Amino acid sequence: MKKIKIFILSFILVAFVFVSYVPDKTFSRYTKNGGVNITTTSANMICDATIDNPGTYISNDGWAYFKVIVKNYNTSGTITQVPMQYNLTISNQTGSNAVYRYLDGAGNSNNFEGTFTTRNYSFTTGTQQSQVINVEVKTDSMTSEDVDFKVDLNCFQVQK
């Protein structure tokens, strides 16, 4: 009887050891991708705008205007490292009721509107570039009036 217990216990122990060391069957499939290169380049984009608004510019149509000068370089002369496009959005601030239209050097323009966005303009890299956009301001009153406006410069990188 003692031999049978030892035999059964030995059998269970051997079975346990055997089961724990037998690996499960796994199947894997490996794919080799050759020639894949990923590169990342980081660069500084510079898109700067100033507003020239002395209050004395008068258009041929008799409307006051201001100039928005957009540049691809900063005050220290550093030029943007990426080609880019930009547009301007002009809108009234609270309490102002003026309408605006723009005129660029190429003759592009729009009708007078309370809010508008210009077409997209481009800058390249390598040389300092600037573009001037005249924005005419028209109000309902024929007297002098303070107008609060907002100019948003929207710049975005384009692919080389």
Q: Is residue 117 part of a domain?
A: yes
When pLDDT is averaged across residues 79-91 and rounded to a whole number, the result is: 92
Residue 23 located in a structural domain: no
Identify each DSSP E strand in the chain by its residue range: 48-52, 64-71, 84-92, 99-104, 116-117, 121-123, 130-138, 149-157
Is 40 a domain residue? Answer: no
Among candidate residues 133, 90, 89, 85, the one with its CA nearest the CA of residue 108: 133
Q: Answer yes or no: is 1 within a domain.
A: no
The band of 69, judged by pLDDT with boundaries at 50, 70 and 90, is very high
Query: Do the domain assignments include residue 41?
Result: no
Asked if the structure places residue 126 within a domain, the reply is yes
Instruction: Name the more confident of 154 and 30.
Output: 154
- Pick the most confident of 72-81, 103-112, 151-160: 72-81
| pTM attached to this predicted model | 0.69
Domain assignment of residue 2, yes or no: no
- Position 16 scores a pLDDT of 59
CA distance 110 to 118: 8
The CATH number for 70's domain is: 2.60.40
**CA R_g for the chain:** 36
Residue 129: which domain range?
48-157
Beta bridge mates, 69: 50, 132
Residue 104 lies in a domain: yes
* Total domains in the fold of the chain: 1
Give the model confidence (pLDDT) of 96-105 as tens digits.
888 999 988 8
